[in-house]
């Protein structure tokens, strides 16, 4: 179970008016108990979704309040939380550090499997489980984007986390790979919390959190939560000026 008790995240930010740096609130306060198998987090760009996701494995620490996963506090028990909660980034290249897939998965296993030969055997087993057996020894640069995302996921899942947090894991993927990774995430026995802009994937979650301006503004089963999100998005068009619009067209001045 994931518990957030009045968790807040603040950061120092430059004052656009040139004054001294000031503290800005990025998220919260948020209080939640997440027990569902699949939780989706949706919201506009910059609303605070990644900040919320990163709170769950201690990549971001609460400035106030507390965050616990299965009773482990992300501040007091940081190392245990990171072993417990796997985190998958949007961009697999932020996560893949070794030259070949087998070495990358083996690196994830270094703590669990001390013997190097046994570690390689285990890494190969993991890769074949995720359909990457024939790519095990190629350069990671020779993998497609979808294969790289799958490798990043496989390397995290190899550590057998109890909870998986994914920050837009399918955003860079074409429809075929997105469907494949979505199906894989749906089949996992772990609790999965996924930040997503893919509303079809969010429809299949057990619970959906809608984040707006650093607050959880809706928290429900998918139908009503996504209805709220669509209304929110429709009601607040982006304020970025439209360049190159035809004279007289909407948005041109």
Of the listed pieces 41-49, 101-109, 110-118, 147-155, which binds ligand ATP according to CB under 6 A? Answer: 41-49
- Give the pair of three-digit tokens for residue 41: 């987090």
Q: Of 49, 119, 180, 207, which lies in the binding site for ligand ATP, with binding defined by CB under 6 A?
A: 49
Q: Which of 43, 64, 59 is nearest to 213 (CA)?
A: 43
> Binding-site residue total for ligand ATP (CB under 6 A)?
11
* Residue 29, preceding peptide bond in cis (omega within 30° of 0): yes
Residue listed under structure tokens 């070794």: 98
Distance between CA 191 and CA 2 in Å, rounded? 10
Of the listed pieces 39-47, 150-158, 220-228, 244-252, which binds ligand ATP according to CB under 6 A? Answer: 39-47
Q: Of 28, 48, 86, 101, which lies in the binding site for ligand ATP, with binding defined by CB under 6 A?
A: 48
- Find the shortest distance in angstroms from Cβ 132 to ligand ATP: 27
- Give the pair of three-digit tokens for residue 69: 């996963």
Residue 43: strand, helix, or coil: strand
- Find the shortest distance in angstroms from Cβ 52 to ligand ATP: 7
- Find the shortest distance in angstroms from Cβ 77 to ligand ATP: 23
- Find the shortest distance in angstroms from Cβ 166 to ligand ATP: 12
Under the binding rule (CB under 6 A), the answer on residue 170 touching ligand ATP is: no
Under the binding rule (CB under 6 A), the answer on residue 50 touching ligand ATP is: yes
* Residue 81, preceding peptide bond in cis (omega within 30° of 0): no
Under the binding rule (CB under 6 A), the answer on residue 58 touching ligand ATP is: no
Contact 17, 37 (CB under 8 A): no
């Amino acid at each position: 179970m994931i518990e957030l008790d009045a968790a807040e995240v603040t950061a120092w930010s430059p004052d656009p008016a040139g004054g001294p740096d000031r503290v800005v609130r990025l998220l919260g306060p948020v209080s939640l108990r997440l027990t569902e198998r699949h939780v989706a987090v949706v919201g506009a760009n910059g609303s605070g979704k990644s900040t919320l996701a990163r709170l769950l494995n201690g990549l971001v620490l609460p400035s106030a309040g507390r965050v616990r996963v299965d009773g482990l506090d992300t501040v007091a028990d940081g190392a245990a939380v990171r072993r417990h909660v796997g985190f998958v980034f949007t961009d697999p290249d932020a996560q893949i550090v070794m030259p070949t897939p087998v070495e990358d998965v083996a690196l994830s296993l270094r703590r669990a499997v001390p013997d190097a030969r046994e570690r390689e055997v285990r890494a190969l087993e993991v890769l074949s489980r995720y359909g990457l057996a024939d790519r095990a020894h190629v350069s990671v640069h020779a993998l497609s984007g979808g294969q790289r995302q799958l490798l990043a996921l496989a390397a995290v899942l190899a550590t057998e986390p109890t909870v998986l947090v994914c920050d837009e894991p399918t955003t860079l993927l074409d429809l075929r790979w997105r469907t494949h990774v979505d199906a894989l995430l749906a089949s996992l026995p772990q609790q999965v919390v996924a930040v997503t802009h893919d509303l079809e994937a969010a429809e299949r979650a057990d619970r959906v959190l809608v984040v707006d301006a650093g607050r959880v503004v809706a928290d429900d089963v998918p139908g009503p939560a996504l209805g709220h999100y669509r209304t929110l998005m429709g009601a607040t068009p982006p304020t970025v000026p439209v360049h190159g619009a035809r004279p007289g067209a909407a948005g041109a001045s």
